[in-house]
């Protein structure tokens, strides 16, 4: 398990240390419409320790929970999220498209939630909030919701963009963050050179795919290097039980999955 790198860097002390952290990917994409309250409720009922969700900004600057830059795939509407005001977004049906195994539509009428709504509904549930746009305004919007709700604990903010994370860290230095893509790349290069032990990562979590452009990011050596830097290592998005078991054997701290119940069985 991980060790704190710096007393001044926020640490995910709210996550399990003796067992695998199971994170519901967008709640659970397999059994409910992703990034909706039913999906989050289902993941928690299945035993997930943490929820992962994605955030975009509405036209009027409200952080809303949706993965894509458009509403086309996951609602009955069309258009860019950033071009639609919150009122218009919440008139869309984000659940009718999802058909369950019985070919029914039990989620019809489900709405796109706001980030503030998720914070209020799950005050004690650890959350990973991923910033899905390159606009600096999203870092400011999420920081504003954090301030308004007081939700600084049990929270991880993630992004591919180092610029966005650096901006968010400056605004909310007591909130945990993961490493951006460039920050992961730097750590990977340092571990190859054997120089990682003197490295102080700017975040507390390493949330990575199993591989990137043909390079394995989940070798035992890299996982050990991340742990030596005090990082909590989570891998996404893993749905195959055999792959989950291999990652656990390599020493990862968490699995981000559409199937949290399967990850709990590892």
Has 227 been annotated as catalytic?
no
Does 67 qualify as catalytic in the annotation?
A: yes
Using alpha carbons, select from 252, 229, 251, 165 the residue that is nearest to residue 4.
229
Q: Is 28 within 8 Å of 47 (Cβ atoms)? A: no
Instruction: Identify the bridge partners of residue 51 per DSSP, sorted by sequence position.
Output: 24, 127
Residue 108 near residue 95 (C-beta atoms within 8 A): yes
Supply the DSSP string of the chain, one letter for each residue. ----S-TTS---TTS-SSS-EEEEETTTTTTS-TTSHHHHHHHHHTT-SEEEEEEEE-TTS-EEE-SSSBSTTTSS--SBGGGS-HHHHTTS-SSTT---TTS--TTTT--PPBHHHHHHH-TTS-EEEEE-SS-HHHHHHHHHHHHHHT--SSEEEE-S-HHHHHHHHHH-TTSEEB--HHHHHHHHHHHHHT-GGG---SSSEEEE-SEETTEES--HHHHHHHHHTTPEEEE-----HHHHHHHHHHT-SEEEES-HHHHHT-
Which residues are identified as catalytic? 25, 67
């Amino acid at each position: 398990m991980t060790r704190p790198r710096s007393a001044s860097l926020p640490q995910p002390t709210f996550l399990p240390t003796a067992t695998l952290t199971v994170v519901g990917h967008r709640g659970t994409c397999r059994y409910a419409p992703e990034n909706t309250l039913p999906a989050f409720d289902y993941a928690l009922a299945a035993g997930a320790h943490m929820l992962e969700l994605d955030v975009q900004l509405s036209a009027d600057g409200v952080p809303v929970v949706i993965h894509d830059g458009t509403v086309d795939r996951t609602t009955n509407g069309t258009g860019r999220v950033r071009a639609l005001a919150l009122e218009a977004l919440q008139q869309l049906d984000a659940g009718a498209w999802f058909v369950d195994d019985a070919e029914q539509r039990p989620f019809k009428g489900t709405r796109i939630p706001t980030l503030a709504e998720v914070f209020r509904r799950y005050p004690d549930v650890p959350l990973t909030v991923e910033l899905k746009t390159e606009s600096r305004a999203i870092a400011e919007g999420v920081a504003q919701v954090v301030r308004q709700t007081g939700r600084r604990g049990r929270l991880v903010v993630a992004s591919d963009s180092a610029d966005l994370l650096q901006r968010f860290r400056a605004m909310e230095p007591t909130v945990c963050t993961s490493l951006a893509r460039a920050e992961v790349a730097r750590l990977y290069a340092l571990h190859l050179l054997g120089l990682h032990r003197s490295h102080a990562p700017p975040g507390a979590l390493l949330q990575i795919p199993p591989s990137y452009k043909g390079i394995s990011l989940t070798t035992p050596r890299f996982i050990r290097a991340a742990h030596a830097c005090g990082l909590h290592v989570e891998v996404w998005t893993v749905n195959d039980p055999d792959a989950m078991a291999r990652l656990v054997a390599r020493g990862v701290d968490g699995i981000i999955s559409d199937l949290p119940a399967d990850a709990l069985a590892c």
